Amino acid sequence: MVIDGVEAEMTYSRAGEGLIIIDHTEVPAALRGRKVGERLVRQAIEDARGEGVAIIPLCPFAKAQIGRHPEWQDVLRRS
């Protein structure tokens, strides 16, 4: 995601056809405080729902954001 010429990113990998592992979210200092990280996580949730896949949030930021939003937890992989 690029905002005002500054790039924020989330890295993930696919573990098979039904699982996405979010491993890192990076928001540069110039974009902090603007909910850019939350927007990245929200987009990942929407994409997972659209594809019918589950998410494992290994990234501490993504995990915390999902924990704060019960309405996003339907995409978490259940053990």
User: What does pTM read for this prediction?
Assistant: 0.88
Question: For the structural domain made of 2-75, what CATH number should be given?
Answer: 3.40.630.30
Give residue 59's pLDDT.
97
Measured between alpha carbons, how far is 79 from 60 in angstroms, rounded to an integer?
A: 19
Give residue 33's pLDDT.
92
**In this structure, are residues 57 and 51 in contact, taking their beta carbons and an 8 Å threshold?**
no
Q: Kindly report the average pLDDT of the chain as a whole number.
A: 94
Q: What is the pLDDT of residues 36-62, one digit of tens each?
A: 999 999 999 999 999 999 999 999 999
Q: Quote the Cα angle for 65-71-74, to 5°.
A: 95
Nearest to 58 by CA among 18, 8, 13, 28: 13
Tell me the residue type at 37.
Answer: G
